């Protein structure tokens, strides 16, 4: 569902997701994200959501993206490795720029 890794050199928390991030799964993701962010020792770091292995996202997952971007600052948040279909989802949502989706 989610794998975390931290790159000290760039102070970046990479969150690699996989599978269907539907509403029930997103609830669990939200909980784990919150725990992870609270457990971070540094107050200044970047967060990257890696969507390479994601098939589907629900509204609840979009809210996690928005919430995380808010917490770390939109300039420190990005979403990468989206499939073209997922990119269109973010485009239609009007959030591709705000969430730095690529």
Chosen residue from 2, 22, 27, 36 binding another protein by CB under 8 A: 22
What are 13's strand-pairing partners? 6, 47
- Residue 95 C-beta: closest distance to another protein, Å: 7
- Residue 5 C-beta: closest distance to another protein, Å: 27
The three-state secondary structure class of 18 is strand
Residues 34-93 that bind another protein (CB under 8 A): 56-60, 62, 85-86, 88-93
Sheet holding 2-7, edge to edge: 2-7, 12-21, 46-57, 77-80
Residue entry with tokens 């600052």: 73
Q: Which tokens in the block code for residue 13?
A: 């928390």
30 binds another protein (CB under 8 A): no
- Residue 51 C-beta: closest distance to another protein, Å: 13
CA 40/CA 80 separation, integer angstroms: 21
Contact set with another protein (CB under 8 A): 22-23, 56-60, 62, 85-86, 88-95
């Amino acid at each position: 569902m989610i794998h975390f890794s931290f790159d000290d050199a760039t102070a970046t928390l990479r969150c690699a997701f996989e599978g269907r991030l539907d509403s029930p799964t997103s609830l669990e993701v939200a909980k784990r994200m919150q725990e992870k962010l609270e457990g971070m020792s540094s107050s200044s770091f970047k967060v990257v959501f890696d969507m390479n292995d994601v098939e589907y996202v629900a509204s609840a997952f979009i809210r996690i993206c928005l919430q995380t971007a808010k917490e770390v600052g939109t300039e420190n948040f990005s979403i990468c490795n989206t499939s073209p279909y997922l990119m269109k989802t973010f485009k239609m949502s009007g959030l591709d720029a705000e969430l730095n989706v690529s």
